[in-house]
Amino acid sequence: MPSSPLRVAVVCMSNVNRSMEAHRVLSKNGFHVRSFGAGSHVRLPGGARKPPVLYDFSTSYKKMHSDLSSKDQKRYKRNGVLHILKRNERIKPGPERFQECPDPFDVIFTCGQRAYNRVVADLCARDQETWQPVPVVNVDIDDTLEAASLGASIICELCQGLQQADDTQSHLAELLQAPKEKTGRSFLHMVCFY
């Protein structure tokens, strides 16, 4: 493994809560990180008995914040969405879709089984140009502020372990053992190629 910081991708479905909290934590700890969504739209909670609010991935966090503030500022402040969008604005301008990113990474973390399945399917469908291996690891994180914070911490610990390993693939299963014991959850993982 190179001595330069790992190139890390973190992917949830909408690139709003879980992947952005991991992006914040990893960036603060010196990793070269990008975050993404794997869904077709950014989905935010619509409130009691209301459908989710959908945005295109081209919509900035600032515009989402402004739109939701004008619709029902109290509700979106109370459920934490406005806070999350403000945090996101400080990290990057807007959400990005993983499927539209051609850049290679040393490791990709997903924050749920649906995101994992989409990332693996996307990587398998791409034309492999370099056959560079990339481990894809799913850290199953509930879509709440508390769970996102815990998940970001687990992802950061795994990145620190991978950064020190001379061979990511052979050390991955071993590195996943500690968080498995801590959380009681297994971590789906496989190696894909670029």
DSSP assignment, residue 29?
T
Q: Is 141 helix (H, G, I), strand (E, B) or coil?
A: coil
* Residue-level pLDDT at 1: 42
* Residue-level pLDDT at 2: 47
* Residue-level pLDDT at 3: 60
Residue with the two structure tokens 């056959």: 131
Among candidate residues 64, 58, 54, 110, the one with its CA nearest the CA of residue 84: 64
Among candidate residues 7, 45, 13, the one with its CA nearest the CA of residue 26: 7
Structural domains of the chain ordered from first start: 7-39+97-193 (3.40.50.2300), 42-91 (no CATH)
pLDDT along the chain (194 residues), means of 10: 78 98 97 98 87 96 97 94 97 98 96 97 90 94 95 95 79 83 85 90
E strand or H helix at 191 = strand 189-193
Q: Is 16 left (phi over 0), alpha (psi -120 to 50) or beta?
A: alpha
* Residue-level pLDDT at 88: 98
